[in-house]
A and B are shown apart, each in its own frame.
Chain A
Amino acid sequence: MTISLIRPSLLALALTAGLIGSAQAETTLLNVSYDPTRELYQAFNPEFAKHWKAKTGQDVTIKQSHGGSGKQARAVIDGLEADVVTLALAYDIDVISAKTNKFPANWQKRLSHNSSPYTSTIVFLVRKGNPKGIKDWGDLVKPGVEVITPNPKTSGGARWNYLAAWGYALQQPGGNEAKAKEFVTELFKHVPVLDSGARGATNTFVQRGIGDVLLAWENEAFLSVNELGPDKFEIVVPSVSILAEPPVTVVDGVAAKRGTADVAKAYVEYLYSPVGQKIAAQHYYRPVKPELADAKDVARFPKLKTFTIDGLFGGWAKTQKAHFDDGGVFDQIFTR
C-alpha cells in the first residue's frame, strides 16, 4: 500500500524537480564567427546577457567559436549547431543556407544594412616612416615594392583585398575589366608569399619582416599598430577602397530545434543597439549607426570613398564564380 503511494509522489517530485531544473537551466547560444571578432564578442556577450536578464529574467550564456570564415561555414554545414553565424563575408553564409536549408536564401534582407551591423574596409599597413612612399593602390605595383596578402582562394578576408584592388583599377579614368585584370595581375607579381589565412599574412609581415605593405582589414591594421607599437608600423588609407561587410544571421533550423529562436534573434538585433554599436567601434569596426557610438571612437576612422560588392561587382555569387572558382580570374593570373 505505502509503496503504491510513495511511487507516484516520488514521480511527481522528480517531475517538479525536472521542471524547476529546466527553468533554471541556463539558455546557451553558440555564435560561430571568424578570427578577428574574438575580442569584439568577448566584450559584447556579457553585455547582451545582462540585457537579456533584465528584459526576460532568463540567464543566457553565449559560447563563441572562431576560425577561418570558410572553415567555420563548413563546420556549420557539417553539423556544428550554431544558433547564430557572424562570418567575414556573405558568400560563406549563402553557402550554409544553400547546403543546409536551415534559413532562407534571402537571409541578408532580414536585418538592416545588409545584415552587417558593423563594417570595415581594406587599408595598407606599412613600416614606420613609410620608406617606400606608398599612398595609394597605384604605388603597390611600383618596382621593388613587396605586397603581403593572403591567398583569396583560401582566405575569405583576402577576397576583399583582391576585390578592393580590382575596384580601384576599374574606377580609374579609362578603367575597364581588362585594365583591372592587368592591374591585379601586376599586383600579385609583387606578392612574395601567399599565406593561407589573414593572421598568417600578418605574421609574415610583422614577425618575419617580409614585404613593404600588408593589405589588411582596417580593424586588424589598428590592432597591429596598437599591439605592436606605433613606433614600428603605420596605417595608410588609400583614396578608395571596398566596404567590407561581415554579416550576421540566425540559423533558424538550429535555433528552433534548441528552443533559442527568440534569444538568438534578440542577440543579432542587439548588435544594432547603442551598446552593440559602441562595442563595435571600440574594437575598430565601423558602426553602421555611428551616431550611437562614442564620438571619440568614430573619429579614429579616416574618411574615404568606398564601393560595395553589390554595387560594383553584382553580388558575391557572381563574383565568386567569375574570380575565385576554379578557372576564374585568379587562377588565370597564375597559370597563363
Chain B
Amino acid sequence: MSASRTFRVLPGFHLTLGYTLAYLSLIVLLPLAAVFLKTASLSIAEFWNVISAPRVVASYKLSFGVSLIAAAINAVFGLMLAWSLVRYSFPGKRFIDALIDLPFALPTAVAGIALTALYAKNGWIGQYLDPLGIQVAFKPLGVLVALVFIGLPFVVRTVQPILEDLDTELEEAAASLGAQRWQIFRHVILPVLLPALLTGFALAFARAVGEYGSVIFIAGNIPMVSEITPLMIITKLEQYDYAGATAIAVVMLVLSFLLLLLINGLQAWTAKRTGRDR
C-alpha cells in the first residue's frame, strides 16, 4: 500500500492506531453495542411504540430543546468570561479562574439540591422571583438553570487557549486600517474563535443532554411538562423494562451523535473557511 510507504518522523503508527481502536472498542463501543443488542430484543413495532409514546416524545423536546438553549447561553457568556479572563488582569483573577471549573468537580446531585434550595419559593433568590410571577424551581426554567450551570466550564475552557494565542497586533492593525470595534470582532476575532466556540458549544450540549443528577431535583418531573429523557429511562428501569430503557437510550444516542456530527461538520467548515485547517 502506498499509504504505508509514506515517510513518518515518528515510528509506531500501526501500534498506536491498534491501541486507539482496541481502547475505544473496550471503553466506548462495547457498552454502546450492549445497548443496541438489548434493544434488539424488541420488535420494530414494539420499539416504535416505546420511543414514540407521548410522554417520551415530550421528554425529547425538553431534553434536546433546553440543552440547545443552555449551550447557546453558555457560548455567549462563556466567551465573555474567557475574554475578560484572558485580556484583563484584575484582583482575584486566579480565584475566578479556578471557580469556573467548580461545576466539573461538584457532584451533580449537590448542584441540583443547591440550585433548588436557591430557586424554590422560600429560597434566597426564589423568594424575590416568586412575587414577580417567575417560578424557576420545579419548572422547565429550572432545568435550563441547572444545564447552564453544568455546561459553563466547557465553553470557557475550550475558548480560553485560543484567545490566549490570539495576536493583539491583528486587532491593532485592523483598527489602524479604520475598522470599527464591531467590525474587528466580527471579521478578525470571531472567525478565529468560531471553531473553538463550536467545540465548547458541542461539549456543553452533549453534557446537558445526558445530565441527570442535578436536573432531577429542580425539574419537578411532571409528565408531559418537565420530564427529561434520562428520567424516562430510569422510569423504564423501575418497571424492569430493560429493553424499553435501552430503546430510549438508543434514540438519545443516535440523536446526540447526529447533532454532534453536524456541529463537528460546521466546525470543520468554518475552520477551512478561515484558513485554520489543521
Query: A residues engaging B (CB < 8 A)?
Result: 68, 70-71, 73-74, 77, 95, 99, 151, 153-155, 191-196, 200, 204, 207-210, 324-327, 331, 334-335
Contact = CB atoms under 8 A, between A and B. Distances in A.
What band does the interface of chain B fall in when counting residues whose beta carbon is under 8 Å from A?
20 to 34
B210 interface: no
Given A194-B220, A194-B223, A325 B239 contact: yes
B117 A193 contact: no
Contacts of A207: 117
Interface string B28-65: 00000000000000000000001001110000000000
A77 B239 CA distance: 13
Given A208-B121, A208-B122, A99 B55 contact: no
B116, B122, B240 pick with most chain A CB within 10 angstroms: B240
Contacts of A204: 138
B238 interface: yes
Contact of A208 (B120, B222, B237): B120
Contacts, number: 74
Given A153-B239, A325-B239, A326-B244, A210 B55 contact: no
Top 10 nearest A-B pairs (CB, nearest first) are A334-B223, A209-B122, A208-B120, A70-B238, A194-B221, A335-B54, A193-B220, A193-B138, A154-B238, A153-B235
20 contacts: A70-B238, A77-B240, A99-B240, A151-B235, A153-B235, A154-B238, A192-B220, A195-B221, A196-B216, A196-B234, A208-B122, A208-B137, A210-B121, A324-B239, A325-B239, A326-B50, A326-B239, A331-B53, A334-B222, A335-B223
A325 B53 CA distance: 13
Contacts of B117: 207-208
B224 A208 contact: no
Interface string B238-255: 111100100000000000
A153 B56 CA distance: 14
Contact of A331 (B55, B237, B244): B55
Contact of A74 (B50, B120, B121, B240): B240
A68, A154, A193, A327 interface centre (most CB from chain B within 10 Å)? A193
A234 to B, nearest CB: 19
Contact of B138 (A68, A154, A210, A325): A210
B55 A334 contact: yes
Contacts of B120: 208-210
Contacts of A191: 222
A208 B116 contact: yes
A264 B109 CA distance: 36
A3 B111 CA distance: 67
A292 to B, nearest CB: 35
Contact of B53 (A70, A155, A195, A326): A326
Contacts of A196: 216, 221, 231, 234
B44 to A, nearest CB: 17
A155 B137 CA distance: 21
B137 A151 contact: no
B240 A95 contact: yes
B154 interface: no
B234 to A, nearest CB: 6
A228 to B, nearest CB: 15
A42 B202 CA distance: 48
A56 B216 CA distance: 48
B245 to A, nearest CB: 11
Contacts of A192: 138, 220, 222
A225 B14 CA distance: 67
Contacts of B54: 335
A335 B121 contact: no
Interface in B185-242: 216-217, 220-224, 231, 234-235, 237-241
A335 B50 CA distance: 14
Contacts of B137: 208
A191 B235 CA distance: 18
Contacts of B240: 70, 73-74, 77, 95, 99
